Structure 1
């Protein structure tokens, strides 16, 4: 019996660092929040881009392939934020629908995230107007301990109803 305990202990020392499903869900939720807070709430294109891999690909059902790499993504965020600031109009906000997110572990430090989100225009007085809803699939990759989105598929965009 002591030999079995020793083997179990040693196997844990050399086992890959695989998060439990609950832990992985929490990690991806946190990474998702950081990505979208930077892209929408603070309009920090560089910070949003830092949450992506260099080889990011972003596919959108209404716009096709909208980014082929991190630089494309950063430029797209910067352009949207500049236009938003120049117009003095409402700020675009993204909200993950509670209970819609599913996360599945993949090999090689990757995770697959499915979910639904809603988009709002937030006026200067704080009033938020729902503009639409969509589904998404994100492929995340852990790079140097940080989850970065590697592939994005944004689809089934529906206007507010």
Structure 2
């Protein structure tokens, strides 16, 4: 009689560890944190369009809770190049420390991608103004291994909230 609850507990605990997030020290977590940094710290923050061209999949789609859907890599890069990078103010994105989580995606035991989630803050610097925080939001990215390279296939940016000004 007691064996069934113990067996159920063993099954549930092993299922949890099989599908849990990657440890921050794992190679997968470190790799995708590096890709996030290239995409945002280098690409977004400095308008280095080459980062987007290298890291974004040709099958890319982006979903933004305030800006709508972008259905192609070309449209996404064009929006950054002709929008964000041409604006009067400079934007900067910062990953919220400790918020990044990575979940592997496998098929038949073989890694083919990963889901990356976290929170990020956005800042602006206006003409003759000091940088100030504007918002905080959540993101979810689906990264796929395409020809041995990590490519951002889907991006979701949501729950944008004004940054609490103190």
* C-alpha RMSD of matched pairs (Å): 2.0
Q: Secondary structure at the match of 2:29?
A: helix
CA–CA distance in structure 1, aligned partners of residues 122 and 72 of structure 2 = 24
CA–CA distance in structure 2, aligned partners of residues 82 and 98 of structure 1 = 25
Deviates more, 1:124-133 or 1:149-158: 124-133
Q: Secondary structure at the match of 2:103?
A: strand
Deviates more, 1:124-133 or 1:45-54: 124-133
CA–CA distance in structure 2, aligned partners of residues 24 and 79 of structure 1 = 33
Count of residues in correspondence between the two structures: 137
List per-residue Cα deviations over 1:44-77 (Å, max 9, x = no partner).
Answer: 2243132110010000111221x21110111011
Segments of 4+ in structure 1 off by > 6 A?
none
Determine which of 150, 157, 163 is the counterpart of 1:154.
157
TM-score (norm 2): 0.75
What is the Cα deviation at residue 129 of structure 1? Answer: 0.5
2:99 — aligned with what?
Answer: 100
Q: Which runs of 5+ in 1 are unaligned?
A: 1-19
What is the Cα deviation at residue 42 of structure 1? Answer: 1.9
Q: Secondary structure at the match of 2:83?
A: helix
1:24 equivalent to 2:23? Answer no
